Amino acid sequence: MTAKSAPSRPLPDLPRDSQTDYPAPANGTVRSVMLIGLFLLALFFILHIARPFFLPVALAVLFNFLLTPVVRFLGRAHLSPPVAGAVVLLVSLGIMGLGMWQLAGPARDWMSRAPENLSRARDRLRGVARPVEEIRKSAERLQKASDGSSGETPTQMLAVQQPSITSRLFGTTQAFAIGLFEMLILLYFLLAAGPLFIHKVVKVLPRLSDKKKALEIAGDVEGAVSKYLFTVAAINVVEGAVVTVMMFLLGMPNPPLWGALAATLIFIPYIGATIMVAVLFLVAMTTFEGIGHALAVPSIFLAIDVLQAYLISPHVLGRKMELNPVAIFVSILLWGEVWGVPGVFMAVPIAVTLKTFCDHIEGLKPVGEFLGK
């Protein structure tokens, strides 16, 4: 008697995007992966330790991708790259300086009243947090009873001054100013040089196929990063304008300040919107008496940001520019740890650059597939 074989379970249909065949791993793959892992660990360690050198260079290259199309457009108007680069850089600095000067007063006024506002918000939220506070006090009494101590024993505390959060993220004022100056000088040289460095790289490559591949990769990386930065910047400016109008209609103080802050923070996917919701909630709690009115402020911003993130941005950026949410979040954590706040803002453009580069290299196409959506 032969045993009946168990009925085979039908396999689920594979998605169309997963039917691409990648080259099978060759012998020694484990050793290669371990060597690549050690190389990446050493690379990120060096980038973190030598942050004062690498961070201005990376920022200059990123802004060069953003501003090169404008310099090329001015070149069609018979302006040489050095002159066009100077014009673009000066105009950009002027616009940024004017915006910061206009918002400096409201921001300084709000920061000066921040301790008072936070105290008021804490008092209003105390009713909600009272049960948690009672549980904490009960736990402390039980701990004291178990230790056999009925009263508090005076202890001598040694205060150790720790570096502030701002200094940890941005560094000291002197280092920040020096890095900004270095970045601006290098950015001008990159804009003034035009495609010089690309031509140099192509010139030193030995084979014609390598030259063509290098030109293709350079063009696609520049196009992808510049398109991403331009598009995201335009979308963020529009969202900031919409937020400004909504804050004005809701009666929030200094609506342009919150619109500009929203347009800046939403450059950071997920985390920026979360920070903005928390800030708007605290400000609304200290501004309005009604809880419903206070909750409406962050709720309306969240609705605007969700509409932008899940409907407008994917449609405008296109399928090719979409990134895996897990890869985006990991990139934010990684570059935030390596370079602080500037690294957080650069995380997604770096991921876009890496994906575009990997899509052109046969052995790295699986990495590009993982980064994609």
Predicted confidence (pLDDT) at residue 171 exceeds the cutoff of 70:
no
State residue 18's pLDDT score.
Answer: 53
Residues 239-270 have pLDDT tens digits of 999 999 999 998 888 888 899 999 988 888 88
Phi, psi of 149 (to 5 degrees): -115, 125
State residue 160's pLDDT score.
Answer: 45
Interacting residues of 365 by C-beta distance below 8 A, sequence separation 6+: 22, 358, 359
Phi, psi of 372 (to 5 degrees): -75, 170
Beta carbons of 191 and 81 less than 8 angstroms apart: yes
Please state the domain extents for the chain.
Answer: 50-122+172-194
Share of the chain above pLDDT 90, in %: 11
State residue 353's pLDDT score.
Answer: 86
Predicted confidence (pLDDT) at residue 84 exceeds the cutoff of 70:
yes
State residue 116's pLDDT score.
Answer: 66
CA dist., res. 18 & res. 322, Å (int): 16
Predicted confidence (pLDDT) at residue 150 exceeds the cutoff of 50:
no
State residue 1's pLDDT score.
Answer: 47
Mutual angle of helices 255-265 and 208-250, in 10-degree steps: 150
**Single-letter amino acid code for the residue at 163:** P
State residue 179's pLDDT score.
Answer: 84
State residue 11's pLDDT score.
Answer: 46
Alpha carbon dihedral 340, 343, 348, 354, in 10-degree steps, equals: -130
| Token output for 145 | 């009873």
More confident residue, 64 or 99: 64
State residue 327's pLDDT score.
Answer: 84
Interacting residues of 71 by C-beta distance below 8 A, sequence separation 6+: 81, 84, 85, 88, 191, 194
State residue 169's pLDDT score.
Answer: 47
pLDDT tier for residue 291 given thresholds of 50, 70 and 90: confident
pLDDT tier for residue 16 given thresholds of 50, 70 and 90: low
Q: Count H helices, E strands: the chain?
A: 14, 0
Average pLDDT of every residue of the chain = 77
Predicted confidence (pLDDT) at residue 13 exceeds the cutoff of 60:
no
Query: What b/e sequence results for 167-197 when a residue is b if at least 16 CB atoms lie within 10 Å of its CB, and e otherwise?
Result: eeeebeeeeeeebeebbbebbbebbbbbeee
Category of 78 on φ-ψ map: left (φ > 0), alpha (ψ -120 to 50) or beta: left
Beta carbons of 154 and 28 less than 8 angstroms apart: no
State residue 77's pLDDT score.
Answer: 82
Share of the chain above pLDDT 70, in %: 74
Predicted confidence (pLDDT) at residue 175 exceeds the cutoff of 70:
yes
pLDDT tier for residue 129 given thresholds of 50, 70 and 90: low
> Which of 140-144, 208-212, 251-255, 273-277 bottoms out in mean pLDDT, i.e. has the lowest?
140-144
Predicted confidence (pLDDT) at residue 64 exceeds the cutoff of 80:
yes
pLDDT tier for residue 159 given thresholds of 50, 70 and 90: very low
Query: CA–CA distance from 86 to each of 76, 99, 186, 233 (Å)?
Result: 16, 20, 12, 22
Predicted confidence (pLDDT) at residue 87 exceeds the cutoff of 70:
yes
> Which of 35-39, 61-65, 150-154, 210-214 bottoms out in mean pLDDT, i.e. has the lowest?
150-154
Residues 43-58 have pLDDT tens digits of 889 988 988 889 999 9
Category of 254 on φ-ψ map: left (φ > 0), alpha (ψ -120 to 50) or beta: left
State residue 133's pLDDT score.
Answer: 57
